[in-house]
């Protein structure tokens, strides 16, 4: 059974007679919405679809937390100059997002609305329709006023609940001075206010602001205030009747936001908290080339839609348990993902899918209508993305030429069939994988040709003559490519030796044509392109032209701006004898687990140590490691390493270290940290 169906069954079991179920999600419009946040929507969306499959009415409620305070200025926004005479961006910190000016000239009335519109337009492309709640309007219209007053009346009980989840003891007077609400100052518009006193009926407060303003706030008439997060969240569960809501693993951790808010929901608002599903964060593999933070290309759903079809994005979320991490691929892993999706989609359409696959596809495919009581899905043309990438780059994504090429190789796809993927293939190549663009050289590569031995030169000449004479079909060309080395070298008895020679021949052809040792399948490549476009690149029977001579004159490479610090190495250390034997019980006492490096910072006055902040699958921990001479902080951040997690804490360079990373140290290589493939989840034990 799919995980969304299991959750739907539990929702129905808890409230079997409810007329309409509510699955919620919410995001603060602090900037462009990142793909990691999209898991919030996708998880609830799949549960809504599961409830509907079980004959229930359900809706997807989405809250824009636009009434939250602006905490920091995103890098891309900070680069946008403020108009002359207007205050700088950092002076808006503490404002609610809806009161911050829009950085962009797009007609949106404020900062929040720009990012909300950006995201909502992307959701339409996914076919996801949500019931939106804009929390600035909800608060400022007074819809929550009675619940704010109720929370103020229960402020002592709320403090006790919050305090029960803290590790530190409350300070004297802290409970009496606790108020679960923030007032936005009418003078400076920030939430830097402090309540000084509250009337007996908890409706009127005296307050002062850090800006110097003092005033009286009537909670029955003034609504420019907001409950603190862990009180606001359960209040809204009660107000909207929420049955299910997911959240990041930080909220799901024991004693985290959900645990706290669940108790507040029951004890303060008399509401049973919704079923909660924590989810793992999303990874990115191969974000290279122009896909960098400095380029302004944010990893938003809109960016992903330039690479993936919407059904594929939903498919990646749907087929993974929420607690499992997965990666969006900006490297050639995306081609494998397209291949896997196409196979599963075709199996589903042909009725070959099992229950799990059928549910995954029902969750991710876009519905266009209904027929005989069953949904009708948008048709997807499964033109191989790898072929579009390989052949598209050769013909510069010229549509008529691509159609011709596909016809020549016996796969006559038309533009109508591959148009939905064409721009995505081109975008991936140019933005994420420019090194995989295959372009024919403008002239012969004498530099490579002169390195070939006589037999290899004869192979190139035979290939040139064969291509020039023409009259072959695809299979004949493929056979000839493997036969040419045999004609030059004679029949070899050792098949491994023959395979090696044939492989070198293929490399030589690629190098002469596209300056690479690998490329598209060679027989398809040579058959797809018009011979007159490349046959001259295989003909070395005439002297070098002046243009070719000029191409051999190379400029000296510019020196690197900064050279990485080199640690002197030497001869290998003597190999030490094996230590005394231990039994399996002694070994099992050692807790070695995979951790992800979140931060790597220098330690003041330490010449050799870094302070590394890690996530070990359960919580953050700090270790100190003397790897400063071998790695920069940038080389460590985001990597996964192995740590002895149950090593007794010790202090180094003034920092308490909660473990030790695994590394190999030898005079011949220095200190080499043992890194783990990113696919391995944090917290995985090393056995």
Lowest-confidence range among 394-398, 419-423, 589-593, 618-622? 394-398
Q: Is the pLDDT of residue 642 over 50?
A: yes
Strand partners, 597: 614
List phi, psi (to 5°) of 613.
-100, 125
Q: So what's the pLDDT on residue 197?
A: 97
Sign of CA dihedral 62, 66, 71, 72: positive
Q: So what's the pLDDT on residue 555?
A: 46
Pick the closest to residue 349 from 371, 370, 377, 372 (CA basis).
377
According to DSSP, residue 282 is labeled P
Q: So what's the pLDDT on residue 491?
A: 78
Q: Answer with the residue of higher pLDDT: 491 or 340.
A: 340
Q: Is the pLDDT of residue 495 over 80?
A: yes
Residue-wise pLDDT tens digits, 605-615: 788 899 999 99
User: What is the distance between the alpha carbons of residues 382 and 341, in angstroms, rounded to a whole number?
Assistant: 9
Q: Are 54 and 13 in contact (CB under 8 A)?
A: no
- Report which listed range, 4-13, 70-79, 362-371, 602-611, is most confident: 4-13
According to DSSP, residue 552 is labeled T
Pick the closest to residue 679 from 146, 331, 284 (CA basis).
284
pTM of the model: 0.72
List phi, psi (to 5°) of 48.
-60, -45
User: What is the distance between the alpha carbons of residues 466 and 443, in angstroms, rounded to a whole number?
Assistant: 20
Predicted confidence band of residue 467 (pLDDT cuts 50, 70, 90): very high
According to DSSP, residue 293 is labeled G
Task: State both tokens at 595.
Answer: 């951790």
Pick the closest to residue 149 from 46, 222, 85 (CA basis).
222
Across the range 42-47, mean pLDDT stands at 97
Neighbours of 356 (CB within 10 A): 14
Residues 6+ apart with CB under 8 A from 199: 205
Pick the closest to residue 624 from 603, 639, 647, 645 (CA basis).
603
Q: So what's the pLDDT on residue 627?
A: 92
> How far from the centroid of its chain's Cα atoms is residue 473's Cα?
44
Q: So what's the pLDDT on residue 61?
A: 98
Q: Is the pLDDT of residue 237 over 60?
A: yes
User: What is the distance between the alpha carbons of residues 204 and 494, in angstroms, rounded to a whole number?
Assistant: 94
Sign of CA dihedral 401, 405, 410, 413: negative
Pick the closest to residue 283 from 681, 3, 676, 684 (CA basis).
681
Q: So what's the pLDDT on residue 74?
A: 86
Across the range 217-225, mean pLDDT stands at 98
User: What is the distance between the alpha carbons of residues 529 and 211, in angstroms, rounded to a whole number?
Assistant: 71
Across the range 79-98, mean pLDDT stands at 93
What is the residue-wise DSSP string for 461-529? Answer: HHHHHHHHH----HHHHHHHHHHHHHHHH---S-HHHHHHHHHHHHHHHHHHHHSSS--S-HHHHHHHS
Q: How does strand 131-134 pair with strand 181-183? A: unpaired
Lowest-confidence range among 130-144, 221-235, 673-687? 673-687
Predicted confidence band of residue 27 (pLDDT cuts 50, 70, 90): very high
Q: Answer with the residue of higher pLDDT: 668 or 114.
A: 114
Q: What is the dihedral of CA 529, 530, 533, 534, to 10 degrees?
A: 60
SS3 676: strand
Domains of the chain in start order, with CATH, are 142-277 (no CATH), 386-436 (no CATH), 446-473+482-552 (1.10.10.350), 584-685 (2.40.50.140)
Angle at 340 between CA 334 and CA 346, to 5 degrees: 135
Does residue 72 come out as left (phi exceeding 0), alpha (psi in the -120 to 50 range) or beta?
Answer: beta
Lowest-confidence range among 97-106, 244-253, 461-470? 244-253
Q: So what's the pLDDT on residue 295?
A: 36
Across the range 331-346, mean pLDDT stands at 95
Pick the closest to residue 298 from 110, 105, 79, 107 (CA basis).
79
User: What is the distance between the alpha carbons of residues 214 and 216, in angstroms, rounded to a whole number?
Assistant: 7
Residue-wise pLDDT tens digits, 522-566: 888 888 788 999 999 999 999 999 988 887 775 445 444 444 455
Across the range 495-504, mean pLDDT stands at 91
Percent of the chain with pLDDT over 70: 96
Residue-wise pLDDT tens digits, 284-335: 887 543 333 333 346 788 889 999 999 999 999 999 999 998 889 888 899 9
Residue-wise pLDDT tens digits, 373-425: 888 999 999 999 999 998 888 777 889 889 988 888 889 999 999 999 999 99
Average pLDDT, the chain: 90
Tokens 């509401």 belong to which residue?
Answer: 271
List phi, psi (to 5°) of 676.
-115, 145
Q: So what's the pLDDT on residue 321?
A: 94
Residue-wise pLDDT tens digits, 157-177: 999 999 999 888 888 999 999
User: What is the distance between the alpha carbons of residues 668 and 569, in angstroms, rounded to a whole number?
Assistant: 5
């Amino acid at each position: 059974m799919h995980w969304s169906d299991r959750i739907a069954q539990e929702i129905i079991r808890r409230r079997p007679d409810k007329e309409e179920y509510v699955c919620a999600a919410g995001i603060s419009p602090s900037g462009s919405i990142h793909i990691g946040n999209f898991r919030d929507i996708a998880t609830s969306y799949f549960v809504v679809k599961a409830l509907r499959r079980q004959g229930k009415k359900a809706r997807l409620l989405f809250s824009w937390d636009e009434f939250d305070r602006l905490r920091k200025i995103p890098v891309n926004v900070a680069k946008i100059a403020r108009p002359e005479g207007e205050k700088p961006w950092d002076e808006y910190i503490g404002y609610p997002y809806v009161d911050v000016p829009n950085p962009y000239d797009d007609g949106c009335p404020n900062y929040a609305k720009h990012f909300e519109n950006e995201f909502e337009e992307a959701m339409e492309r996914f076919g996801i329709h949500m019931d939106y709640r804009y929390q600035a309007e909800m608060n400022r219209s007074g819809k929550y006023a009675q619940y704010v007053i109720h929370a103020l009346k229960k402020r002592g009980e709320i403090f006790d609940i919050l305090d029960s989840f803290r590790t530190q003891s409350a300070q004297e007077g802290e409970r009496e001075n606790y108020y679960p609400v923030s007032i936005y100052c009418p003078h400076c518009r920030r939430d830097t206010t402090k309540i000084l006193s509250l009337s007996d009926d908890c409706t009127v407060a005296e307050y002062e602001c850090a800006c110097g303003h003092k005033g009286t706030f009537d909670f029955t008439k003034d609504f420019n205030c907001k409950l603190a997060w862990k009180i606001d969240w359960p209040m809204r569960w009660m107000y909207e009747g929420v049955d299910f809501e997911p959240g990041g693993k930080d909220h799901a951790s024991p004693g985290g936001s959900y645990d706290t808010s669940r108790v507040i929901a029951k004890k303060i608002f008399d509401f049973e908290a919704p079923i909660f599903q924590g989810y793992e964060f999303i990874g990115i593999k191969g974000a290279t080339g122009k896909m960098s933070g400095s380029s302004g290309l944010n990893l938003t759903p809109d960016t992903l839609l330039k690479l993936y079809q919407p059904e594929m994005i939903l498919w990646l979320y749907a087929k993974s348990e929420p607690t499992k991490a997965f990666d969006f691929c900006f490297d050639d892993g995306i081609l494998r993902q397209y291949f896997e999706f196409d196979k599963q989609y075709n199996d589903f359409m042909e009725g070959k899918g099992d229950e799990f696959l059928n549910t995954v596809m029902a969750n991710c495919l876009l519905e266009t209508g209904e027929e005989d009581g069953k949904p009708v899905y948008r048709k997807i043309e499964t033109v191989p993305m790898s072929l579009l990438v390989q052949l598209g780059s050769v013909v510069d994504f010229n549509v008529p030429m691509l159609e011709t090429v596909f016809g020549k190789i016996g796969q006559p796809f038309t533009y109508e069939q591959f148009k939905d993927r064409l721009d995505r293939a081109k975008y991936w190549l140019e933005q994420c994988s420019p090194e995989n663009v295959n372009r024919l050289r403008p002239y012969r590569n004498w530099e490579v040709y002169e390195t070939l031995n006589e037999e290899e030169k004869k192979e190139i000449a035979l290939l040139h003559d064969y291509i020039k004479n023409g009259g072959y079909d695809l299979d004949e060309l493929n056979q000839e490519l493997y036969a040419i080395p045999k004609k030059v070298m004679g029949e070899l008895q050792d098949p491994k030796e023959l395979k090696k020679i044939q492989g070198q021949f293929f490399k030589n052809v690629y190098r002469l044509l596209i300056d690479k040792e690998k490329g598209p399948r060679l027989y398809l490549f040579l058959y797809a392109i018009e011979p007159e476009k490349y046959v001259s690149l295989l003909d070395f029977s005439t002297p070098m032209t002046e243009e070719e001579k000029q191409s051999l004159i190379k400029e000296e490479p510019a020196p690197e701006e900064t050279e990485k610090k080199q640690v002197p190495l030497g001869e290998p250390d003597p190999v030490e004898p094996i230590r005394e034997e231990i039994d399996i019980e002694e070994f099992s006492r050692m807790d070695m687990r995979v951790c992800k490096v979140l931060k790597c910072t220098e330690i003041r006055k330490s010449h050799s140590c870094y302070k590394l902040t890690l996530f070990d699958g359960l919580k953050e921990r700090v270790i100190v490691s003397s790897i400063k001479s071998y790695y920069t902080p940038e080389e460590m951040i985001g990597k996964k390493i192995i740590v002895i997690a149950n090593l007794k804490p010790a202090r180094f360079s003034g920092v308490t270290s909660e473990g030790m990373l695994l590394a190999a140290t030898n005079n011949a290589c220095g200190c080499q940290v043992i890194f783990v493939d990113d696919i391995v989840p944090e917290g995985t034990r090393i056995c």
